Amino acid sequence: MRIDLHTHSTASDGTEPPSGVVESAARAGLDVVALTDHDTTSGWVEALAAGERLGVRVVPGMEVSCLVRGVSVHLLSYWQDPADAALGGMLDASRTSRRTRARRMVERLTADTGLRWDDVLEHVHGQATIGRPHIADALVAAGIVGDRDEAFATLLSGSSPYFVPHTAPDPLEAITLVRAAGGVPVLAHPAASKRGSCVGDAEVEAMVESGLAGLEVDHRDHSDAERRHLRDLARSLDLLVTGSSDYHGTGKRNLLGENTTDPEVLEQLHARAGAGGGAPASTGGEVRGA
Ligand code: AMP
Ligand code: ZN
Ligand code: FE
Ligand code: FE
* Nearest listed ligand to the Cα of residue 245: 4
Atom 22, ligand 1: which residue's CA is nearest?
A: 152
Checking if the pLDDT of 210 tops 70, the result is yes
pLDDT for 174: 98
CATH number at 138 reads 1.10.150.650
Number of structural domains found in the chain: 1
As a whole number, mean pLDDT of residues 69-98 equals 97
pLDDT for 289: 40
Classify residue 65: in a domain, yes or no: no
Atom 2, ligand 1: which residue's CA is nearest?
A: 131
* Cβ–ligand 1 contact at 133 (below 6 Å): yes
pLDDT for 190: 96
Atom 14, ligand 1: which residue's CA is nearest?
A: 133
Q: What CA–CA distance (Å, rounded) separates 175 from 23?
A: 31
* Cβ–ligand 1 contact at 63 (below 6 Å): no
Classify residue 127: in a domain, yes or no: yes
Q: Is 231 helix (H, G, I), strand (E, B) or coil?
A: helix
Q: What CA–CA distance (Å, rounded) separates 272 from 184?
A: 6
Classify residue 77: in a domain, yes or no: no
Checking if the pLDDT of 281 tops 60, the result is no
pLDDT for 282: 44
Q: Which of 271, 215, 213, 276 is nearest to 86 (CA)?
A: 276
108-161 pLDDT tens trace:
999 999 999 999 999 999 999 999 999 999 999 999 999 999 999 999 999 999
Classify residue 48: in a domain, yes or no: no
* Nearest listed ligand to the Cα of residue 102: 1
pLDDT for 275: 61
pLDDT for 276: 57
Classify residue 138: in a domain, yes or no: yes
| Residues whose Cβ atom is located within 5 A of ion ligand 2 | 8, 13
Distance 245 CA to ligand 4 centre (A): 8
Q: How many residues does the chain have?
A: 290
Checking if the pLDDT of 280 tops 50, the result is no
Checking if the pLDDT of 260 tops 70, the result is yes
Mean pLDDT value across the chain: 94
Q: What CA–CA distance (Å, rounded) separates 118 from 222?
A: 36
Query: With contact defined as beta carbons under 8 Å apart, do 84 and 179 qualify?
Result: no
Per the structure, the complete domain to which residue 128 belongs is given by 101-153
Greater confidence, 216 or 287?
A: 216
Checking if the pLDDT of 211 tops 80, the result is yes
| % of the chain surpassing 70 pLDDT | 94
Distance 252 CA to ligand 1 centre (A): 8
As a whole number, mean pLDDT of residues 183-202 equals 92
pLDDT for 290: 36
Nearest atom in ligand 1 to the alpha carbon of residue 101 is 3
Q: What CA–CA distance (Å, rounded) separates 273 from 277?
A: 5
- Under DSSP, the state recorded for 193 is G
Checking if the pLDDT of 283 tops 70, the result is no
Classify residue 168: in a domain, yes or no: no
Classify residue 273: in a domain, yes or no: no
Distance 177 CA to ligand 1 centre (A): 24
* Cβ–ligand 1 contact at 149 (below 6 Å): yes
Q: Which of 21, 123, 248 to mutate to test the pocket of ligand 1 (most atoms within 8 A of CB)?
A: 248
Classify residue 195: in a domain, yes or no: no
Nearest atom in ligand 1 to the alpha carbon of residue 63 is 10
Atom 3, ligand 1: which residue's CA is nearest?
A: 131
